[in-house]
Amino acid sequence: MGNLLVAQSGGPTVAINSTLLGVYKASKNKVDKVYGARYGIKGLLEKNIYDLSKLLNGNNENLLKQTPASALASCRQKLSDSSKSTEQYEKIIKIFKDFDINYFVYIGGNDSMDTVNKISQYIKYSNISDIIVVGAPKTIDNDLVLTDHCPGFGSAAKYIATTISELERDCSIYPIPSITLVEIMGRDAGWLTAASALSRLNGAKGPSLIYCCEKTFCIDKFLKDIESKMKGYSNGIVIVLSEGIHDKDGKYISEYVNEPFMDEFGHKQNAGAARVLEKVVRSTFGCKVRALEINLMQRSAAHITSLTDIEESIKVGQKAVQCALSGMCGEMSTIIRKSNRPYEVEYSSANTSLIANKVRYLPDDMISKDGNDVTNKAIDYLKPLIQGELKIKYNNGIPLHLDLFKNIE
């Protein structure tokens, strides 16, 4: 049967450990041993490899579903181009042989799929037949191509929808005008920013304006948009924008910090887009203006997750194992949406050579014509992904997390 190795990579999500659980459960009776590499491909290269059955068992494995960030830790390491140097690849194959590893599942985002693609290409060209490498997706950015959506996104979207609904109430209780600018993660794709509109699902006002980074951002138009929203309105409004909003020349708004009219700022490294816009909005409208970033919380808030996302993340891990056991080297498991009402998906796979280093943007028909909100099509797409709540197990008043390496260090 041989052994299977799993590792995690890239930035944290709250669902990446559910995919690890799916990989573990789907493989533990199908292979001799299930190994986990700590610190992704970097740890693998350093033989930082553990027998997962010694770390996971029926008592603790369900805690993976509520543990944020990668339980196996992570890395940000790109493999070298194998046409230039095969050293890393030879080392990886040697380690696979040493540990009798026939299957390697790498859970991660775009860079991780690049790693899967590169190793599988090397295996192919080296005529290695007994090692199968596959990928399982994760990213809160939801920007991988060839999958309807990405594990981790639904929970981040639920956290954002909930948080914006709470902030909107917070900002509207005083009978005086105010403007709160909320910056949401997404340098290239505005999926998470769009999810802020879900805060309206129960009838609340939600964000008054939404700016996704797919559209050119024009400060003059932005100020006019605000003016029209403030007219006749005497409470606070919330405006949501992607960190990656940029002007017609592709320059990020966060890089405007040194522009003359932004002269209150020092250097760009200390300002995000919302913070840069805070001053120009304040000087234009003369009311209370706040800029805030949801920051790391949107990718690590495991205390509120979408049950749909958690369950799908497990299945995406199981599907990756199926691909590996079927010999589909270089594939990444994917989610295909069959229907919105009722929401139905099936699991499939696509080759990482078609996925790595590509970005899936929010399509034009999900952004309003004015470029300052999302369409019903976006809501129809997003809404199913945040449904259901994982029941969180608490201890001492805080959620329990699983530390896989607690007894090892």
CB of 47 to a second copy, least distance (A): 14
Strands 209-211, 178-184: pairing is unpaired
By CB atoms closer than 10 A (0-12, 13-18, 19+), residue 13 is buried
Number of alpha carbons in the 13 Å side-chain half-sphere of residue 287: 18
346: which 2 tokens? 């099936």
CB of 179 to a second copy, least distance (A): 13
Q: At what angle do helices 219-230 and 273-285 cross, to 10 degrees?
A: 60
Look up 141 and say whether it is catalytic. Answer: yes
Q: Which is nearer to a second copy, 339 or 398 (CB)?
A: 398
Q: Which is nearer to a second copy, 216 or 258 (CB)?
A: 258
Q: Supply the DSSP string of 171-207, one letter for each residue.
A: HTSSSS-EEEEEEES-SS--HHHHHGGGGGTTS----
CB of 60 to a second copy, least distance (A): 13
CB of 331 to a second copy, least distance (A): 26
Q: Out of 111, 114, 141, 309, pick the active-site residue.
A: 141
393: which 2 tokens? 């197990």
Burial letters for 29-47: b for 16+ Cβ neighbours within 10 Å, e otherwise?
A: eebebbbbbbbbbbbbbee
Q: Which is nearer to a second copy, 102 or 306 (CB)?
A: 306
Q: Which is nearer to a second copy, 103 or 106 (CB)?
A: 106
Burial letters for 255-280: b for 16+ Cβ neighbours within 10 Å, e otherwise?
A: ebbeeeebeebeeeeebbbbbbbbbb
Strands 236-242, 288-293: pairing is unpaired
**Distance (Å, rounded) from C-alpha 259 to C-alpha 280?**
11
CB of 121 to a second copy, least distance (A): 26
Tokens 């948009």 correspond to what residue? 225
Q: Which is nearer to a second copy, 122 or 256 (CB)?
A: 256
Is the CB of residue 42 less than 8 Å from the CB of residue 140? no
CB of 396 to a second copy, least distance (A): 4
Q: Which is nearer to a second copy, 125 or 174 (CB)?
A: 174
Residues designated as active site: 141
